[in-house]
Structure 1
């Protein structure tokens, strides 16, 4: 199995060939589409590298064995156990009972006020946006402030 460098370098070379429009005969991609795809791969090089490693990502990571590996595995297992305990005892209860109340508090206020609180909120947001835009418009018309 080749290492991570071979995977990423091969992907980079393929992207460069696509950018140049160098596609083999019988390729399922139209010659006009190849440069566009190559440019996308070039602009998203991080995603290209991640895709080049793909499912081999964890295979290519160093294998921690022996004493250091035992400590790392024990730490990971303990962390997951603690998180599971917190999730079981607190987060799942919070998500089940409290989140729906918090999500509908704005709806409750709107219902209690007959929709007035929603209308006032929208009007205040519109006023704040208008004042900000007015201030920015004034600033841009004063001339070169960085000159």
Structure 2
């Protein structure tokens, strides 16, 4: 526990400890570290041609889901979509271009989020050719 000095009428300094002050001190230390880290990263960006990568925003357990392209690629993109969704179809058209642009560097994991129909659930359970089924459902919905 951290000791703090506080002024008092009876004594100029009294050492005391309080859980709130401990948490507040920890917060201030973490904030200072984050600020120094941000300044350091900004200076690296200015001085070099290096791209600094940040850690993933969300960890997604993608094991067991269909994988397109290189399953050992260093970068994983998880596509969470519904085969009956028009917006998901537009994104799927963009996602199809990623493997050709970043050949061997990216693996695409397809996760169905069946909110619109039973067909979406059935498609995700179709084993053997998940990539072909995935592409066909976006290009020919309802079949």
TM-score when scaled to structure 2? 0.25
Q: Which has the higher contact order (CA 8 A, sep 6+)?
A: 2
Q: Structure 1 or 2: larger helix share?
A: 1
TM-score when scaled to structure 1? 0.24
Q: Which has the greater radius of gyration?
A: 1
